[in-house]
Amino acid sequence: MSNLTFGIIKPDAVAKGHTGKIIDKILADGFQIRGMKLIHQAKRQAEGFYAVHAERPFYGELTEFMSSGPCVVLALEKEN
């Protein structure tokens, strides 16, 4: 049986050029990448994605950060 999960390489890691190293680590840990896309979320998209945290004190800072630059989103799969 395998599990699917979602991963995000955040804007600061993408900007610093760490995407390749992070993907190498994900693969070395036994995950298969089922889908991958470079996105740049609008603030409104980030607010929707993180809406579960809307009442938390870090919400504004989180959504600002996650919409500050490109992210890489990944669909990952790994056998149990």
**Tens digits of per-residue pLDDT, 13-55?**
999 999 999 999 999 999 999 999 999 999 999 999 999 999 9
CA distance 56 to 5: 24
Over residues 52-62, the pLDDT tens digits come to 999 999 999 99
Is the pTM value of this prediction over 0.85?
Answer: yes
Question: Using the 8-state DSSP alphabet, how is residue 1 labeled?
Answer: -
CA–CA gap between residue 47 and residue 40 (Å, rounded): 13
The domain that holds 43 is classified in CATH as: 3.30.70.141
Number of domains the chain is built from: 1
Query: Which pair of tokens denotes residue 53?
Result: 């945290």
Q: Which domain holds residue 16?
A: 2-79
